[in-house]
A and B are shown apart, each in its own frame.
Chain A
């Protein structure tokens, strides 16, 4: 475990002196800000319309929270996760520090976990910087805080899964640029599948629970079910395991 800790600590130190990391954080906050603005304006319009119609019910602010922490945040990840993937395994290989890590007396699993948790830490930092937006809405809109809390958990798990995809992609190449594009490609496939699956006749609804997006919206509803938890954790673990197998197999080539 101390090896994971060592790699993790170095990762964090290195992330927070790199322009790439700040670019990713800035991009994330920018997208979230625009999203927040758009959702607020949309809410304002429906509220005004409702105020003019005595029969209509006043809309709640839940949609804003659901939007920010549900389906829309996926698009923000499509930009920042490939950026972060550029500082993962391909980067170590490109600057020849992989030799240091791979000749240390630790297993590849330690290395993969250390790198993964380092990226997750950056993700947590980003979310911490953005979370005030839906929080403000929930607090002054007197809405139920449950969807906010479970939504944050969902975004965290969803982001971690995407970072695991990025780590896998970055283990396949020696160029950081390629790692970024490969991550983008993998994520695009996941997204397209996520969009198409619900449209499959008859079984679409049932298949949706196997997509990351489907599980994310389950959590955004405000209930922490075991199904999405098990789904995200097991998928992430599987990807990390595959990554460490890939890195090990490269040692044997």
Chain B
């Protein structure tokens, strides 16, 4: 899958790839962004930077300000205060340059139901300034990337929801934008479609900068390198995915024992154990001493302890837990 897409884009030749060896410059810079809707302050000073080639998940509960931020990024809406620059161009000063650099998939895909998929994409390519000579190839490439080739002659209005979303995605990448802005790309899709769209987004992210918003956590965990979490108009967490996950990690090991001891004390005496918690009748969480081979020594010790070890697994926090923690923590009242 991955290799086909790479070779296809190389063969297409219409891409303008970032020259190799160039230092990663920042593609999206958001600085102290404020937005008021009347008296309501939707954004209260959001700042973050996305570097070239990053795939960033933009997370937050409904109403946190995700769509507002994205609309400001695309120039659909002005900020009340603060600045946004995309690919080095300020959205207020050079809107056309910004719009040339971005591909945007709004929350509701902007589709004309009366057009065929091919006609629609051809129109999108024209609007994005793809020259006539390259338009057909650009459409073919977008169709292939988004798995739409066999749907090219269908009317957009007759497509299923998943295919509509793909058409929206194809529209966003038709002109090989450097920055891809996707607003809730998998909302309302069934699980199979979600997985397909995620795959497409991951492939697209190999060549360009992507920011995708979501309130569905596994979404972001599956596709993004970095997460920016906002809540009530403020950034509450920002960092690489694994860092964020390990920061919140309990770092424990959960084990199920067929014949556990009555008390916790004997378990505390086991090799490399620092602390024990009882989770259920037969389930315990062990916190281990620091060290490289602690898990190995611990499991060996536990297996020989005679408590009837039947299952053991290491715990890592899910993004869901991180999200819950930061979102709940930062809300004053």
Contact = CB atoms under 8 A, between A and B. Distances in A.
Contact of B114 (A18, A100, A103, A105): A18
Nearest to B99: A105
A2 B75 CA distance: 22
Interface string A90-117: 0000011111111111110000000000
Given A13-B115, A104-B99, A99 B127 contact: no
Contacts of B124: 100
Contact of B112 (A97, A106, A107, A251): A97
B76 A14 contact: no
Contact of B99 (A10, A17, A97, A103): A103
A140 interface: no
Contacts of A97: 110-112
B119 A101 contact: no
Given A7-B127, A103-B99, A105-B100, 11 more contacts: A14-B115, A96-B108, A99-B104, A103-B74, A103-B102, A105-B96, A105-B128, A106-B127, A251-B77, A252-B78, A253-B77
Contacts of B129: 105
Contact of B127 (A3, A18, A107): A3
Contacts of A51: none
A251 B76 contact: yes
Which one of A7, A101, A105, A251 has the greatest number of beta carbons of chain B within 10 Å? Answer: A105
A253 B72 CA distance: 11
A189 interface: no
B104 A103 contact: yes
12 contacts: A3-B127, A6-B126, A10-B123, A14-B112, A14-B114, A14-B115, A100-B110, A101-B110, A103-B104, A106-B96, A251-B78, A253-B77
B123 A6 contact: yes
A18 B111 CA distance: 16
Cβ-closest 5 pairs across A and B: A100-B110, A104-B127, A6-B126, A105-B99, A105-B100
B106 A96 contact: yes
B171 interface: yes
A102 B111 CA distance: 14
A101 B112 CA distance: 12
A2 B106 CA distance: 25
Interface string B115-134: 10001000110111100000
Contacts of B123: 6, 9-10
A68 B216 CA distance: 62
A7 to B, nearest CB: 8
B127 A101 contact: yes
B126 A103 contact: no
A10 B119 CA distance: 9
A120 B249 CA distance: 64
Nearest to B132: A2
B37 to A, nearest CB: 9
A226 B331 CA distance: 69
Contacts of B111: 95-97
A171 to B, nearest CB: 15
Contact of A99 (B76, B115, B119): B76
Nearest to B103: A103
Contacts of B115: 10, 13-14
Which one of B97, B111, B127 has the greatest number of beta carbons of chain A within 10 Å? Answer: B127
Interface in B245-279: none
